[in-house]
């Protein structure tokens, strides 16, 4: 009797573990808004779900929101980018034959985010420069722990970008992205310095054209302006010990860009 009861308890525990580590598997299809981290009230979730669904159906382009407490609880990878891509592919997210879509994923444990785009169509709609501006808009809210308004801002940008692309004018088309600006800025930064140095040289050397060479050293001494009688010790050597300064990742630091198959995106901290 005790053995039977023990086996029953063991099976129950195994069932609970399986359900807790495979929460997403309970539903064959994710909603447009999946809030496993419970960041929203019921009313907020319904409002976001309706907006995301309406935008997706209007433009035939999937728009998704996913929040989890810790993405590592659902995957054997410690890379949030791989988790986001696998999640998208395993659940067959996206609209159209190319399964086009965008997903904003938050993992609360270590304040990670991942913005993933799938299909060639998404690259045309969401340009690299456009993605930079998109990130800046929703991250302002996330860093203040205002998640509902942050996701609303994300949906706003999705709608704006999809509308602009439909009108033939993708947001940020022809504009340099943050990565491009990083490559170009050092070269352009030398130009103002070179101009300033040239002007300084011209202005400094101009009065010297009238100067005449003097033969005796004492002719260069200004009366009353030189006194060699005063002596002082000179500090020639020093011993310095240095230790690395502890640094912390800035909340405004850049995100990591990636590309994997039909997916591309960026991830970082908020």
Cβ-based neighbours of 93, under 8 Å, separated by 6 or more: 30, 62, 64, 87, 99, 101, 103, 118
Kind and range of the H or E element at 7?
A: helix 2-21
DSSP state of 103: E
pLDDT value of residue 182: 45
| Element counts in the chain: helices (H) and strands (E) | 7, 6
DSSP state of 251: T
The HSE-up count of residue 204 (CA atoms within 13 Å, CB side) is: 6
pLDDT value of residue 24: 57
In our burial notation (b when 16+ CB lie closer than 10 A, e otherwise), range 239-264 reads: eeeeeeeeeeeeeeeebebbeeebbb
pLDDT value of residue 252: 38
Residues of the chain with pLDDT under 50: 1-23, 25-26, 180-192, 194-200, 202-204, 206, 208-211, 220, 225-253
pLDDT value of residue 240: 42
Alpha helices in 115-253 (DSSP H): 120-125, 128-142, 147-166, 178-205
The rounded distance, in Å, linking the Cα atoms of 85 and 67 is: 15
Tokens of 193: 């310095």
Which whole-number Å values give the CA distances from 22 to 16, 36, 64, 110, 215, in the listed order?
A: 10, 12, 20, 20, 93
pLDDT value of residue 178: 57
Entry pTM: 0.66
The rounded distance, in Å, linking the Cα atoms of 219 and 124 is: 75
DSSP state of 222: P
pLDDT value of residue 233: 46
Which whole-number Å values give the CA distances from 255 to 133, 148, 179, 231, 266, in the listed order?
A: 12, 22, 10, 58, 6
Decide: residue 144, CB within 10 A, 0-12 exposed, 13-18 middle, 19+ buried. Answer: exposed
Q: Compute the mean pLDDT over every residue in the chain, rounded to the nearest whole number.
A: 76
Q: Vertex 175, ends 81 and 146: CA angle to 5°?
A: 50
Q: Does CATH number 3.10.310.50 belong to domain 23-172?
A: yes
Q: Answer positive or negative: Cα dihedral of 239, 244, 246, 248.
A: positive
pLDDT (tens digit per residue) in 107-135? 999 999 999 999 999 999 999 999 999 99
DSSP state of 53: H
In the beta sheet, which residues pair with residue 63?
102
């Amino acid at each position: 009797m005790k053995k039977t009861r023990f086996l029953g308890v063991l099976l129950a525990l195994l069932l609970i573990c399986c359900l807790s580590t495979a929460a997403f598997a309970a539903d064959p299809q994710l909603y447009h808004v999946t809030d496993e981290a419970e960041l929203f009230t019921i009313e907020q979730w319904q409002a976001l779900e309706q907006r995301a669904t309406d935008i997706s159906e209007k433009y035939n382009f999937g728009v998704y929101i996913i929040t989890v407490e810790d993405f590592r609880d659902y995957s054997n990878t410690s890379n949030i980018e791989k988790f986001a891509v696998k999640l998208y592919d395993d659940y067959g997210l996206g609209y159209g034959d190319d399964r086009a879509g965008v997903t904003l994923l938050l993992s609360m444990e270590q304040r990670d985010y991942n913005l993933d785009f799938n299909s060639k169509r998404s690259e045309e709609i969401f340009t690299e420069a456009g993605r930079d501006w998109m990130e800046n808009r929703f991250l302002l809210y996330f860093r203040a722990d205002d998640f509902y308004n942050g996701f609303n801002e994300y949906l706003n940008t999705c709608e704006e970008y999809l509308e602009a692309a439909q009108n033939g004018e993708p947001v940020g088309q022809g504009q340099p992205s943050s990565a491009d600006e990083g490559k170009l800025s050092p070269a352009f930064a030398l130009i103002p310095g070179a101009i300033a140095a040239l002007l300084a040289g011209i202005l400094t050397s101009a009065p010297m054209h009238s100067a005449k060479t003097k033969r005796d050293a004492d002719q260069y001494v200004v009366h009353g302006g030189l006194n060699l009688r005063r002596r002082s010790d000179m500090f020639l050597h020093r011993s310095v010990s240095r230790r690395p300064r502890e640094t912390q990742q800035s909340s405004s630091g850049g995100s990591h860009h990636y590309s994997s198959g039909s997916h591309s995106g960026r991830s970082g901290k908020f």
